[in-house]
């Protein structure tokens, strides 16, 4: 089961993510990035973090340790921003912590261009994302970290932020296990991922027993009250049944066609032209920020 820790010091909010996680220190002397139950994404994002993160770990992919973090909002009374205080006040009790990787770097397009990623590792990560319907590991938002940062040309990739995965649990009755998704813009798509080898390696390992093991890591409180289910156990069964069926249907969703960097650049250029053509003259003077990572955005237009 996930270790439990008690938060002892609130360090700072992280505004880079929509859920506004926080950096906290705990009674085990560890430092964690904590996602809160009171965030706008709700507890389903935390459920996805646990199921996908722990499944990835059991498939020998790198994921920072996840812990159940007991949090008392009183330790963050000094937080100056009202909206963050409201989030913290709405999140007493058990939240989800991820081990903080000091000095880690985001796997941005700039970092990626300088890197060599093993085709099998790229394929294994994409296969996991396709299985769990993780639509949030794109060239613009990789949710991958490079750590440690020496030897970046051949990076050790760490998987983070799986709250947007398992999209089927938002509408259980409207998503078929064999449904395919567009993974052409996956962050690792242009590293010639060996999807067939990844499928042969990982599919036999994702058994019903393994899925039951990872769903047992989710606290009952985060599953209770799910519409259409009487108990947390029934919700766990639904995750197991869906993912088991999805593994068996992999031929219908296995991503195998990825654009090159040059093709991606051409698509981006065409999109930018079409966006500009559809704007009124006064708006054409405002740069198109859509799709660019925060580091590449010119916020001075709005702040100056």
Q: What is the 3-state secondary structure (H, E, C) of the chain?
A: CCEEEEEEEEEEECCCCCCCCEEEEECCCCEEEEECCCCCCCHHHHHHHHHHHHHHHHCCCCCCCEEEEEECHHHHCCCCCHHHHHHHHCCCEEEEEEECCCCCEECCHHHHHCCCCCHHHHHHHHHHHHHCCCCCCECCCCCEEECCCCCCCCCCEEECCCCCCCHHHHCHHHCCCCCCCCCCCECCCCCCCCHHHHHHHHHHHCCHHHHHHHHCCCCHHHCCCCCCCCCHHHHHHHHHHHHHHHHHCHHHHCCCCCCCHHHHHHHHHHHHHHHHHCCCCCHHHCCCCCCCCHHHCCCHHHHC
End residue of a domain, out of 51, 68, 99: 99
The answer to whether residues 66 and 130 belong to one domain is no
Residue 271 pLDDT > 80: no
Residue numbers of the domain that contains 232: 105-253
Query: Does a structural domain hold residue 236?
Result: yes
How far, in whole angstroms, is CA 178 from its chain's centroid? Answer: 21
What is the domain count for the chain? 3
**pLDDT score recorded for residue 179:** 94
The answer to whether residues 91 and 67 belong to one domain is yes
Query: Does a structural domain hold residue 299?
Result: no
Rg over CA atoms, the chain: 20
The answer to whether residues 141 and 228 belong to one domain is yes
The answer to whether residues 207 and 246 belong to one domain is yes
The answer to whether residues 174 and 270 belong to one domain is no
The answer to whether residues 17 and 43 belong to one domain is yes
Query: Does a structural domain hold residue 302?
Result: no
End residue of a domain, out of 80, 99, 118: 99
**pLDDT score recorded for residue 266:** 84
> pTM for the whole thing?
0.87
Query: Does a structural domain hold residue 226?
Result: yes
Query: Does a structural domain hold residue 259?
Result: no
pLDDT in tens, 21-50: 999 999 999 999 999 999 999 999 999 999
Q: Report the candidate in 97, 197, 201, 101 with the shortest Cα–Cα distance to residue 155.
A: 101
- For residue 3, what are the β-bridge partners? 67
Span of 113-117, 212-216, 240-244, 282-286 with lowest mean pLDDT: 282-286
Residue with tokens 């809160």: 36
pLDDT in tens, 219-229: 999 999 999 99
Query: Does a structural domain hold residue 118?
Result: yes
CB-CB contact of 215 with 223 (8 Å): no
Q: Indicate left, alpha or beta for 270 from its phi (over 0: left) and psi (-120 to 50: alpha).
A: alpha
End residue of a domain, out of 39, 71, 99: 99
The answer to whether residues 20 and 118 belong to one domain is no
Could you give the CA distance from residue 263 to residue 27 in angstroms, rounded to a whole number? Answer: 49
Query: Does a structural domain hold residue 37?
Result: yes
């Amino acid at each position: 089961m996930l270790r439990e820790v008690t938060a002892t010091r609130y360090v700072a909010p992280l505004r880079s993510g929509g859920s506004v996680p926080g950096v906290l220190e705990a009674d085990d002397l560890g430092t964690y990035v904590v996602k809160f139950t009171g965030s706008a994404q709700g507890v389903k994002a935390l459920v996805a973090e646990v199921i996908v993160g722990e499944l990835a770990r059991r498939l020998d992919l790198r994921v920072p340790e996840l812990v159940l973090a007991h949090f008392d909002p009183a330790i963050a009374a000094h937080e100056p921003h009202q909206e963050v205080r409201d989030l913290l006040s709405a999140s007493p009790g058990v939240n989800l912590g991820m081990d903080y990787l000091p000095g880690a770097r985001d796997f941005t397009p700039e970092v990626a261009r300088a890197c060599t990623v093993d085709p099998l590792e790229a394929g294994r990560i994409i296969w996991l994302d396709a299985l769990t319907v993780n639509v949030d590991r794109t060239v613009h938002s990789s949710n991958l970290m490079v750590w440690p940062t020496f030897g970046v040309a051949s990076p050790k990739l760490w998987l983070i932020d799986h709250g947007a995965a398992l999209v089927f649990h938002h509408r259980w009755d409207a998503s078929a296990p064999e449904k395919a998704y567009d993974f052409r813009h996956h962050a690792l798509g242009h590293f010639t991922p060996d999807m067939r080898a990844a499928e042969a390696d990982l599919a036999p390992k994702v058994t019903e027993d393994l899925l039951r093991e990872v769903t047992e890591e989710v606290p009952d409180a985060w599953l209770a009250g799910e519409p259409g289910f009487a108990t947390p156990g029934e919700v766990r069964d639904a995750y197991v049944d869906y993912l088991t069926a999805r593994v068996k249907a992999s031929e219908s969703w296995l991503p195998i066609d990825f654009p090159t960097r040059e093709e991606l650049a051409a698509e981006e250029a065409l999109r930018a032209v079409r966006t500009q053509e559809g704007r009124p003259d006064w708006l054409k003077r405002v740069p198109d920020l859509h799709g660019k990572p925060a580091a590449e955005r010119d916020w001075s237009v709005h702040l100056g």
